[in-house]
Structure 1
Amino acid sequence: MTNKLKQRENYPILVIYSTDNSFGFGYRKNNNSESDQLFIKKFDNDLCNNLINDLIKFISKENLQKVNKLSVSVGPANFNASRLIVVLARTISQQINCPLDSFSSFEIMAKRIASKNNIFINKKSFWIYKKLKRKGIIAGKYEICHNEKNTSDLVIRETVLPKVIKELDSKELFFEAIYDAKEDLKELLDLSNKNLLNSNVDSWKTVLPLYPISPIN
């Protein structure tokens, strides 16, 4: 292991996440899940202001300035929350000159869904979907790339970014999206940490909310 990689392992990571009815922050002090700190809160009437206030309570100014990697979920989830947390993440990334990357909400939950349904044993790909209030669904496709006997080693790749489709092919394997703020925050920290260790970092300019339909749907 190079000295550069050893140094990177000690870099703090901050992640910002939202579901249909909640938002949360995750902080990993070093390359060790035992150092993880999580914060989860239900939406309220003043999400914009409370999002910032809760972040200030969650992480000190000193620790925020030390963050070396920032990751954010971009949806599909609550449209306003997705937009607000992406704006917040981009702002922080720009101000502290910190690389920012993003993951769809479905990609974050894909490993949990695959493990829960034991599909990693003999299935290579599956869909995750979310029903729209009107017609149609939002769905993304995921492929199992690698796994050992231990499900914690499961690696899943997003092959189709969540998008609006009329219906799913009955021949395909698919599961409904189920948000789990606590578990998905942990997974987002793992994904963020993996990208950092592999030097997969991006500019904040490329990160945008993912919501395939207009907010009125």
Structure 2
Amino acid sequence: MAAVLALHSSSEVLGVGVRWLDAPSGLAGRTVVRAFPLGRELSNQLFSCIEQLLPAEQWPQLSRLAVATGPGGFTGTRLTVVLARTLAQQLQLPLDGVGSFLLVARRQGIGEPTWLVQELPRRGVVAGLYAPAGPDRAIIELQAPRLFAPDTPLPPGPQLSAAALLPNDVEQLLELSVQAADQGLAAPWQPVLPSYPTSPVAGL
């Protein structure tokens, strides 16, 4: 049995998804996604939530991993990225790291270059630019999310909220990872790191 495990914790809600790729009759192609509104309890309940979908004794049967890399909360995003990196290293699995804003852009089905924006009280706006490209009109990231100070206007163009929606965004994450697997794309775990447009130690 082979499966893909996807993790998303760039918001106050943990998203977990599993797609079975090669499994006994009735399981192959099946996708299960769940959302867990954990907030600050993420560090205490992360493993138990994953095991509700995929018990730990089945983790060696995984064939690929995917994780949302943010932007998001410093601690929440870091926890799932570190776990995904550790599993990928220990199980020798490919790991797809995907920005959470890109997942939102795919879910929204944008049809033109669009800014995905997330307001930060008193600090400004985090924004990234996304657009469809190529013959298949796949959504790609044109500009990675970065912080615009309160007195810095965004470049012109349509804007949409970058708020995560779980478990829907986990479905997008699974889909991208399965596509990468089908294409035989390498996905080393080493480059997969959390995205922090703002410094977690600013002002210290």
- Counterpart position of 1:141: 129
Q: TM-score, normalised by structure 1?
A: 0.81
- 4+ runs of 1 displaced by more than 4 Å? 31-34
Q: TM-score, normalised by structure 2?
A: 0.86
Identify unmatched segments of 5+ residues in structure 2.
none
- Paired residues in the alignment total 195
Pairing partner for 1:85 from 80, 85, 99: 80
**For residues 174-185 of structure 1, what are the structure 2 equivalents within 5 Å?**
174-185=159-170
**C-alpha displacement at 1:44, in angstroms?**
4.4
Q: Work out the percentage of aligned pairs sharing the same amino acid.
A: 30
Checking the alignment, whether the CA contact within 8 Å between 1:26 and 1:37 is kept in structure 2 is yes
Q: Deviations over 1:139-160 (max 9, x none)?
A: 111121146xxxxx65111111
RMSD: 2.2
Pairing partner for 1:189 from 160, 168, 174: 174
Tell me which moved more, 99-108 or 59-68: 59-68
- Counterpart position of 2:153: 167
**C-alpha displacement at 1:45, in angstroms?**
4.1
Matched AA of 1:139 = A
**For residues 22-171 of structure 1, what are the structure 2 equivalents within 5 Å?**
22-30=13-21, 35-113=30-108, 115=109, 119-120=110-111, 123=112, 125-146=113-134, 154-165=137-148, 166-169=152-155, 171=156
Matched AA of 2:4 = I
More strand per residue: 2
Checking the alignment, whether the CA contact within 8 Å between 1:11 and 1:67 is kept in structure 2 is yes
- Counterpart position of 1:150: none
Distance 1:20 1:216 in 2: 19
Checking the alignment, whether the CA contact within 8 Å between 1:23 and 1:42 is kept in structure 2 is yes
Matched AA of 1:60 = P
**C-alpha displacement at 1:216, in angstroms?**
6.4
More helix per residue: 1
Distance 1:130 1:46 in 2: 23
Identify unmatched segments of 5+ residues in structure 1.
1-9, 148-152
Distance 1:164 1:180 in 2: 21
Distance 1:51 1:214 in 2: 24
Distance 1:60 1:182 in 2: 19
Tell me which moved more, 27-36 or 180-189: 27-36
Distance 1:182 1:24 in 2: 5
